[in-house]
Structure 1
Amino acid sequence: YDQAFSALQELSMKATFFVTAGWTGKRPGYMTWKQLAELARCGHEVQSHGWSHTLLTRCSAKELQIELLRSKRDLEDHIGVKVNAVSLPGGRWSTRVLEACRESGYEQVFTSDPWMASEDVMGLQIAGRWMVTRNMGAQRIHFLLKGKGATLYLLRAIHFAKETAKLMLGDDAYRSLWRMLANKDKSQEDARITSDSARKPQA
């Protein structure tokens, strides 16, 4: 919100924000309901990323209802806009998960497989998406949008390496490894920002 929102507004670009509803306004670093409402008022989409970021393939029927229906209703109640899309936590899905998405009133489902072409499955539009991370620069995003270049082939290789790791390690071990690497990356980025700030001349 602090950086991307103003940049998008300056460039007159619209974006879709997938929100973990149960974390909204409750965890440091996450947007508040007021901030999400402002995004929606400015023409951006606010959609669901589940209630607690639980892997939906592991949920019981009751848990699926909480993750999908409760998150949808809370977003709609707080922001006042229709929520019809969900980005699946961890990109995990199954026929049972898709059925629950449809029953909860979703029309679009996004996985974390960026190479998955959009198609209609069980009355839902399902498609892949790219994850934009803090270390993804403008040049890499440009290559993604253009759909060409060596960067695209590198990202494809990285994606399939991750999928292989998921199969070999299992969900729990893979997520633990992912969190460890993500926290390390964040610590390095925070250190870089602090260092850059310290080097700036004082006015």
Structure 2
Amino acid sequence: MKNILYSVFIGLFLLVGCQSETRKIVPEVPLVAAPAKIIAPKKVAADAATILSKKEVPILCYHNIRDFSASASGNVKVYTVKPPAFAEQMKTLADAGYHTILPEQLYNYLVFDDPLPEKPIMITFDDTREEQFSIGAAEMKKYGFKGVFFIMTVSINRPGYMSKEQIKSLSDDGHVIGAHTWDHHMVTKYTGDDWNTQLVKPKAKLEEIIGKPVPDFAYPFGLWNTDAIPEIKKSDYKMAYILSTKRDPVDPLYTIRRIIVSGTWSTEGTIKAINSSFTKAE
């Protein structure tokens, strides 16, 4: 009996001793709420009227950069700027504080009201001439200028025109490559498969050469009509460039104005033309 009572006593003692041990206190870890995800407000695209009301960015269009004689035809003189004159124009623009912009910047300014550098200007070249690469781009590089080169694909690798390698080099150097049709036929006369031949295939060829999208198109001779715009949109171009005629009130992004820099202008005359042609919106 004593042994039984002794065993019970010992058991109770051990039980009380175990329960009286200091319990480990595990501090509570406060729950920290994950930071709320900040969602930037969606930009609202401007309508046509708003785009037309904005101050136009000066856009210059060059073709040939080479010497010509005093007896050259009027057409040659208008479309050709002598190399020294081109060099002087680039220096004058730089000295005057102009900054070149590219199509994506222009698009975001027109559509989303993004800011532009002080005194923006765009420099463009039509028709794929080799001297645009060897003279034009070389002179622009002195001032950190970048330009837009509109290529007609039929001329690639032909004598006097740019090669695939030169076009790729321009793109790699930060210039923009745009489409200028296959063989420079005016869009106002396209029918049937012309749209595919002149808009779709050249775009695909240029994208293959440079490895980048080609969303910009320049109309041959600057000529356009409202029938062309839906086809250009369908071909996945974001903007299209005319010359100095009036913009379309419905689709101003597909009638971006440029002026041809004439070989008959002095440098001072070029600056005056820039100021008079783009001083205010239409």
| Aligned-partner Cα distance in 2 for 1:132–1:24 | 24
Structure 1 residues not aligned, in runs of 5+:
153-203
What secondary structure, in the 3-state scheme, does the structure 2 residue paired with 1:51 have? Answer: coil
Whether 1:34 and 2:176 are equivalent positions in the alignment is no
Aligned to 2:139: 7
Aligned to 2:149: 17
Question: Given the superposition, is the C-alpha separation of residues 136 and 127 from structure 1 closer, same or farther in structure 2, using an over 3 Å criterion?
Answer: same
- Structure 1 residue 106 displacement after superposition: 0.5
- Structure 1 residue 86 displacement after superposition: 0.6
Give the superposed CA RMSD: 2.1
| Larger proportion of helix | 1
Counterpart amino acid of 2:141?
Q
- Structure 1 residue 5 displacement after superposition: 1.1
- 1:52/1:67 contact within 8 Å kept: yes
Aligned to 2:272: 143
Counterpart amino acid of 1:15?
G
Q: Structure 1, residues 14-57: CA drift from partner, whole Å, max 9, x if none?
A: 1111111121112x211111111111111111101111101111
Aligned to 2:233: 102
TM-score of the superposition, structure 2-length normalised? 0.47
Identity %: 21
Whether 1:54 and 2:185 are equivalent positions in the alignment is yes
- 1:48/1:87 contact within 8 Å kept: yes
Whether 1:121 and 2:251 are equivalent positions in the alignment is yes
What secondary structure, in the 3-state scheme, does the structure 1 residue paired with 2:214 have? Answer: coil
Question: Given the superposition, is the C-alpha separation of residues 100 and 118 from structure 1 closer, same or farther in structure 2, using an over 3 Å criterion?
Answer: closer
What secondary structure, in the 3-state scheme, does the structure 1 residue paired with 2:241 have? Answer: strand
- 1:119/1:125 contact within 8 Å kept: no
* Alignment partner of 1:83 out of 214, 218, 231: 214
- 1:50/1:89 contact within 8 Å kept: yes
The structure whose Rg is larger is 2
What secondary structure, in the 3-state scheme, does the structure 1 residue paired with 2:230 have? Answer: helix
What secondary structure, in the 3-state scheme, does the structure 2 residue paired with 1:2 have? Answer: helix
Number of matched residues? Answer: 145
- Structure 1 residue 141 displacement after superposition: 2.7
- Structure 1 residue 116 displacement after superposition: 3.3
Counterpart amino acid of 1:83?
V
- Structure 1 residue 105 displacement after superposition: 0.4
Counterpart amino acid of 1:91?
G
| Aligned-partner Cα distance in 1 for 2:266–2:144 | 19
- 1:17/1:46 contact within 8 Å kept: yes
Question: Given the superposition, is the C-alpha separation of residues 21 and 137 from structure 1 closer, same or farther in structure 2, using an over 3 Å criterion?
Answer: farther
Counterpart amino acid of 2:200?
L
- Structure 1 residue 140 displacement after superposition: 2.8
TM-score of the superposition, structure 1-length normalised? 0.65
- Structure 1 residue 137 displacement after superposition: 4.2
